[in-house]
Amino acid sequence: MSTQPFYTLDDLSRWEEIAPTLHLPARLAVIGDPIAHSRSPQMMNAALAARGIQAQYIRVQVPAGSVKEALRLFTLNGFVGVNCTIPHKFEALEAMDEVDPLAKKLGAVNTVRIRDGKLTGFNSDGPGFLRSVEEAFGKSVRDLRVLILGAGGGAGRAVAVQCALEQCPELTLVNRSPAKAEPLAAQCSGLSARTKVTVCRWDDAALRAVMDQTDLIVNATPLGMKEGDAPPFNLALLRASHRVFDMVYRSGAETPLISAAKTTGARTR
C-alpha cells in the first residue's frame, strides 16, 4: 500500500508514471476536497487484503468543478470504482451515464461503478445512515423525530429523503438559506403523508423552539472536520434526551459536537 497521504488531479493526468511505482495496482479511490482526513483507504485496503484481492484503494484530492475530468481519468487509467465525498456528490450525479433509482431519489451520488467505460452512480448515504442509527441507538428512524443540520448538502439531502421514505413522524430541515431547503421539504412531504416536514432557520431562537421536539440531531455539515471549526449550533441547546449523529469524522479525535453531546448525557454516534 502506498504511504502517500493523497494524490491529486495532476497525478491522475500522469498516472502512467506513477502506476509502476505502486506496490499494488490502484483500482479504487475516494475523491473529495479536502481528502487528507479520509480513513477510507485503511478500511478498504484491509477488506481487499482479507479477500485476497491484489489491488489498492487511494485518496485523490479533486477541486470542485473537476469531477467529470477526474472520472474520465480514472476510467482511462483502469480504475473500477470511485467514492465521492464533500463537496462532490451533486457534481458526480451530473457526470453519470446511468443512475440507480435510489440515488435519483436521494439526489446525489457517492459511489461510482466503472464498467466498459460507462459510469453508474449509486448512493449509500441513506441506507448506511438507517443502519447506523439502529445499531447506535436501538431504534428505527421511523420512530424518531429527526432534525438535520445542513440539509442542502449531498449527505444532508440523502438523509432527509431517506427519513421521509422511512416515514419518520417529524423531519426538520435546517439550512443557512431556508429558501434553498424548501424544494427538498416539498419533495420529502410528497414521499410520506405520515411525516410532518418543516424548514427551520439556523439561529438560536429558531433552533431552541424545535429542539425539545427532536429525538435525533444529525450534523450533515462539514463543521467539525477541521481543528478550530465552530460548532454547528449553540451546544447549550443539547439535552440528555437527544441522540446525536455526526456525519463528520476526524482522524484520532471526536468532533466538538460529539464531545459536547457526551457531557450532557446525550447518546452519540
Which residue in the list 89, 118, 180, 226 is annotated as catalytic? Answer: 89
Q: Which residues of 217-234 are buried (b: 16+ CB within 10 A; e: fewer)?
A: bbbbbbbbeeeebeebbe
Q: Is 89 a catalytic residue?
A: yes
Helix (H, G, I), strand (E, B) or coil at 248: coil
* Cα-trace Rg, the chain: 19
**DSSP characters for 153-210?**
SHHHHHHHHHHHHTT-SEEEEE-SSHHHHHHHHHHHHHH-SS-EEEEE-SSHHHHHHH
Please say whether the beta carbons of 158 and 126 come within 8 A.
Answer: yes
Q: Which three cell numbers stand for residue 251?
A: 482522524
Helix, strand, coil percentages (3-state) for the chain, rounded to 5, are 40, 20, 40
The set of catalytic residues is: 89
